[in-house]
Amino acid sequence: MLNTEYDREFIFDVDAYLIENYKSMTLKIRRSICAQMYDWIDEEVIQEAIDSCVADYAMEQLELQKVQEESEDE
């Protein structure tokens, strides 16, 4: 059975972002930006962010960290 109790998709509201961060931007400009932004999104960058999250999870949550050798001074 598939567990549907977690978010599996990343949804970003570009229009809301533009409204919040570019107060004077018109609807016409926002529409143009939204139409063009797909050419600028790099799927590889998103995959790298996911891979970094996986690495962080492995190190922090699963405690899969490399054992540090004690220095001779100690």
Specify whether the CB–CB gap between 14 and 34 falls below 8 A: yes
Q: Assess whether pLDDT exceeds 80 at residue 46.
A: yes
Q: How far from 17 is each of 6, 22, 30, 37, 56, CA to CA, in Å? A: 24, 8, 10, 13, 27
User: Which pLDDT band, with edges at 50, 70 and 90, does 69 fall under?
Assistant: confident
Confidence (pLDDT) at 2: 64
CA of residue 72 relative to chain centroid, distance: 41
Q: What is the DSSP string of 15-57?
A: HHHHHHH-TT--HHHHHHHHHHGGGT--HHHHHHHHHHHHHHH
